[in-house]
Each structure stands twice: as C-alpha cells, then as structure tokens.
Amino acid sequence: MKTVVLKFGGTSVGSIDRIKKVCKIIAFYKKNRNRVVVVSSAMSGVTNELVNKSKLISNNFDRAEYDVLVSTGEQVSCALIAGRLKHNGFKSRSWTSWQLPILTDGPYSSARISSVGIKELNKYIKSGGIPIITGFQGINNDFRITTIGRSGSDATAIMLAKFIKADECIIYTDVDGVYTTDPRQHNKAKKIKKILYDEMLEMASLGSKVMQPTSVQDAKLNKIDIKVKSSFVSKSGTLITGSNKVFSNQIITGISSTKNDAKITIVGVKDRPGVAASIFRPLSKNLINVDMVVQNISQNGKETDLTFTIKSEDLKKTERLIKKNKSISYKKLSFDKDLSKVSIIGVGMITTPGITYRMFQALASKKINILVISTSEIKISVLISSKSVKKAIAVLHKEFKLE
C-alpha cells in the first residue's frame, strides 16, 4: 500500500464547492488503496485579509503575533476538508502544526522546518484515517507558532513526505503543471512533463510562480520527487525530480520573466577594497534584495562603475540610502525603471556551445536592447525594457524550439 501526500493550494480550496471537489480527489486516492495524508493552504484571499487587519491594528505589528494571526487561515480550510470527508463516510480529522508537532528554526515569518513528529500521525494513518494537516506553519523552541513564508504549504508537504517516507508527493494547484513559459505571456507555451530540481529552482527564483524556491530546495536536499497537478482538470502534471534517466536532449527547458525591476548605476566610485560591501550593507539592513550586479573598473584602476537591479518599489528607499551613505564617494547616480528580467534555463547549456550567441542574436533580430547580463551554469538572464518582454519570450521560445 502506497503512502501519498496531497497538498492543496489556496485556489484549490477557495470556496465550499472547491473544497467538495478536493474531497472527491482525496476520496479517489483513498479508494485506490493508498494511505493518504493531506496538507492544505488557507482559502484564497484569507491570508491577505488577515495581513491587512494586522496593518490596521499597527504599522509595526509584533512578528510573533503576526504568525499566530496569519496561521489561522489553514485551520479553517483543514477543518472544512475533514468535516466534508466525515460527511462522505471517511475517517478524518484536522491536525494543527503544534499537535504533531512540526518543529521549526529561524525567524518568525520565514522559519524552516527542522523535524516532524510522526508517532501519533503514523498510528492514525495505519488505522485508516485521513489526516488533514495545516500547511505553512510550525512551532519553535519557545512553543510559539511560526510561519514559513508565503506558499510555504509546499514545504510542509515535502517535509512531511520526507519524515513519513511517502511514496508520492503531489502538489495540487490552479495550473496543470509547469510550462515552458508563462502561458499568459505566450500562447504557445507547452507543458513540461519532467524537469530537474535545479532547473525548477532557477525557474522559481527567476519569476515562475508555480513553486516556492525554498520548497524546491527542500525537495532537492531530501530527494523527494514532486508532481504538480491541477485540482480543476483531470490531466497529467509535471514531475520535478533529480533523476537524469528520464530526460530528453532538450537544451533549454524553460523561459522565466520578472516584472517591476529597476536598475541603478553608480558612476565613478573610488575603487578600494570593501567598497561594494559599503554600498550594499545599508541595503541589506533595510531588507532590499539586490539581484543582478555588474562592475566595470576604469583603465587607470582607480574608479569603478557599479550597476545593480532591485524591485521598483524599493527604488526611492535605495536612492535615499545611497545618497546619505558617507562611506562612499562617486560622480553620478542614475536610475531606470519599468524593466524586466528574462531568463533561459536548461541543464543542456552546460555542454552545448553557442547558447549565449543564439539568445543575444534572437533578441537583436527583434531590436530588443540588453541592459544587464547575468549567467550561471544553467541559466542566462538579461535585463530589458518591460514593454519588450512578450516579444522577447516569443522569439526565444521559437529559437530554442520549445513550441
């Protein structure tokens, strides 16, 4: 008898009718002689509503109480799922994270799961019960509720699959798998049947919203294969795995894009050891995420131009921090916004020459100007004008035969 972990996202449990449909999916696995463990997110919109309430109470709401507040959404959805399953004649009950317990390390709102207590859970599963477990949360060493970041229910499901030694971990969401690019950006996007952890990790961190990057990382570290499927249509999904045996010779697996990026260039910075750290230290302290970084040293070796990207909403704060930073001197500060990052991802580029040229040539054929370039072994990212994103995705999708 197989043990299957099923995780349902917020849109999948977004209404009473959808919860009833989810219960039919759970019943299907149970009737097919599987041991079934369910992880649920909060109903769509509920967490945002709770966050807004915290903002109305205080503009500096206590972080520990914030986690207590936003964790309540999952209790509601889990109780409703368990209640419906009981109505349908199944043995089921809801479990909150502290009842197992799911132990976490790290700060409030971005904790990571360290262990899961499975003794009582295993007893319940073996007795034929279907446990419905709150995703997105755990408890710390002080017995306070913690949350593990938005979309963290994926991580809950993956870590549960690890500790109970599940045979399958299936993530049910509002899309029927991972696509070569966002179907809303390009109507010729194609569903990927199988994708490697590293490729999925790059796609998730570079703009794909299907999976949370930390969840993919957890799956990779613990060697948990994941299936991504839709709770709305009965179609085969995408397998995220570490096995190289099942892959084709496709060079590029997918294309990701971001939006609302901004570029900052500091011209004529006096070059000395530690100058980059001096620039980025205040940004780090103010929780401003720096992405692409390019540095050019002048011919005399005394000055440098530093270009980096951030999210547009952080632009004014970043400008203010740089201007009041007395530890650096420079000649000019310039800003560009309404920019986007477009990335091609694929393990095939490690052994295939000419990928960089093909990408740049394809973009040039559509007169798309590249502002910043960033590379790794399995991805190439370029910063371009946001108005050119759809055109860039279309030409790259065609160039690398993803259609």
pLDDT of residue 319: 94
| Closest-CA residue to 230 (of 298, 179, 168) | 179
The whole-angstrom separation of Cα 149 and Cα 211 is 12
3-state helix, strand, coil in the chain (%, to 5): 35, 25, 35
pTM for the full predicted model: 0.83
Domains defined along the chain, listed by start = 3-174 (3.40.1160.10)
Judge contact between 140 and 111, C-beta under 8 A: yes
Residue 124's nearest CA partner among 82, 72, 68 is: 82
The angle at the Cα of 79, spanning 27 to 4, to the nearest 5 degrees, equals 40
DSSP 314: G
pLDDT tens string for the chain (403 positions)? 899 999 999 999 999 999 999 999 999 999 999 999 999 999 999 999 999 999 999 999 999 999 999 999 999 999 999 999 999 999 999 999 999 999 999 999 999 999 999 999 999 999 999 999 999 999 999 999 999 987 789 999 999 999 999 999 999 998 889 999 988 889 999 999 999 999 999 988 887 777 878 888 888 998 899 999 999 988 889 999 987 665 567 889 999 999 889 999 999 988 888 888 999 999 999 989 999 999 887 766 788 899 999 999 999 999 999 999 988 889 999 999 999 999 999 988 888 899 999 999 999 999 999 999 999 899 999 999 999 999 999 999 999 999 8
Question: Which pair of structure tokens corresponds to residue 143?
Answer: 């017995």
Tell me which H or E stretch contains 286. Answer: none
Nearest-angstrom CA–CA distance, 192 and 254: 8
**Residue closest to 100 by CA, chosen among 40, 166, 160, 13:** 160
Helices vs. strands in the chain: H and E counts, helices first:
12, 19
With contact defined as beta carbons under 8 Å apart, do 312 and 332 qualify? no
201 three-state secondary structure: helix
Helix H or strand E encompassing 334: strand 332-345
For the record, the structure tokens of 361 come out as 């040539």
- DSSP helix/strand/coil, 333: strand
* 104 touches 146 (CB < 8 A): yes
